[in-house]
């Protein structure tokens, strides 16, 4: 399904109200919920672990899209799968054995994603295309929300061509706004993660901006 999907990143939500924030964005039309897991090692920031995904699961009706910015990845795959992740994405830069990691994610019953940092070429995923359901193209250096967009539309187009007729989503993560979205979709992206653009200025009590911004994207 290549229709455009919006995946709000709860990294930009109210950390004291994740359940309500997720319900609010879903009510406003969010297709997936994106969870940014950071370990203070692979990236210079700390966020959530499997217990948080488990706690959130009953509050999310849609797809739980779990983006692991951690190294190593393999020891935590089963815990995130058991916590209720639908998609687990690992970084190709996080270790020497991305092929094994992707096999393990599917083995745990989840859809498998592979993420590429801005400096990593499209060719890094060439030999795992049959093991994945999603490629996450980072358009910021991972670690923080609210950074400015790095234009990588040509990488997106290269990946879309490499994917051919396989059923693989191309997800964009970082600096997505109503201004940057159209060029990304034209290049072949079908899932747009958005943190600041969706949650900024909104709250669970007055979720107006969520829907407005998602529709604008």
Q: How far is the CB of 199 from ligand DX5 (least distance, A)?
A: 8
Cβ atoms of residues 170 and 157 within 8 Å: no
> How far is CA 54 from its chain centroid?
17
- Identify which of residues 52 and 103 has a Cβ nearer to ligand DX5 in the complex: 52
∠ at Cα 120 (102, 94), nearest 5°?
Answer: 45
Contact with ligand DX5 (CB under 6 A): which of 88, 112, 122, 140? 140
Which ranges in the chain belong to alpha helices (H)?
A: 18-27, 50-56, 77-83, 98-107, 153-163, 181-187, 196-199, 208-216
Using only the alpha carbons of the chain, give its radius of gyration.
16
- Is 194 among the residues that bind ligand DX5 (CB under 6 A)? yes
Nearest residue relative to ligand DX5 (C-beta): 195
- Asked about 173 being catalytic, the answer comes back as yes
- Identify which of residues 125 and 176 has a Cβ nearer to ligand DX5 in the complex: 176
Question: What DSSP character marks residue 35?
Answer: E
- Asked about 36 being catalytic, the answer comes back as yes
8-37 mask for ligand DX5 (x: CB under 6 A)? -x-xx---------------------x-x-
Contact with ligand DX5 (CB under 6 A): which of 53, 90, 117, 142? 142
Q: Which residues bind Zn ion (CB under 5 A)?
A: 36, 67, 173
Is the torsion defined by CA of 66, 67, 69, 75 positive or negative?
Answer: positive
- Is 173 among the residues that bind ligand DX5 (CB under 6 A)? yes
Helix or strand run (H / E) with residue 14: none
- Is 113 among the residues that bind ligand DX5 (CB under 6 A)? no
Nearest residue relative to Zn ion (C-beta): 67
End-to-end CA distance of the chain: 18
Q: How far is the CB of 32 from ligand DX5 (least distance, A)?
A: 12
Contact with ligand DX5 (CB under 6 A): which of 62, 103, 196, 203? 196
- Identify which of residues 98 and 176 has a Cβ nearer to ligand DX5 in the complex: 176
- Is 147 among the residues that bind ligand DX5 (CB under 6 A)? yes
Per-position b or e across 112-121, b if 16+ CB within 10 A of its CB: bbbbbbeebe
Which residues does the annotation mark as catalytic? Answer: 36, 173
């Amino acid at each position: 399904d290549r229709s455009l999907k919006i995946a709000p990143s709860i990294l930009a939500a109210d950390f004291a109200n994740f359940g309500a924030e997720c319900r609010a964005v879903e009510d406003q039309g969010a297709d997936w919920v994106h969870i940014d897991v950071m370990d203070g090692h692979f990236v210079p920031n700390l966020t959530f672990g499997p217990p948080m995904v488990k706690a959130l699961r009953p509050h999310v009706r849609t797809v739980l899209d779990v983006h692991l910015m951690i190294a190593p990845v393999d020891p935590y795959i089963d815990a995130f799968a058991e916590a209720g992740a639908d998609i687990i994405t690992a970084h190709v830069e996080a270790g020497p054995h991305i092929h094994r990691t992707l096999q393990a994610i599917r083995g745990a019953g989840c859809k498998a994603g592979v993420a590429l940092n801005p400096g990593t070429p499209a060719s890094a995923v060439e030999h795992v295309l049959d093991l994945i359901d999603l490629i996450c193209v980072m358009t910021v250096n991972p670690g923080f929300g609210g950074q400015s967009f790095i234009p990588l539309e040509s990488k997106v187009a290269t990946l879309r061509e490499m994917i051919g007729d396989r059923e693989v989503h191309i997800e964009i993560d970082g600096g997505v706004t109503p201004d940057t979205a159209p060029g990304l979709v034209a290049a072949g992206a079908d899932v747009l993660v958005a943190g600041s653009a969706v949650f900024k200025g909104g709250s669970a009590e007055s979720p107006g901006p969520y829907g407005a911004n998602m529709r604008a994207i």
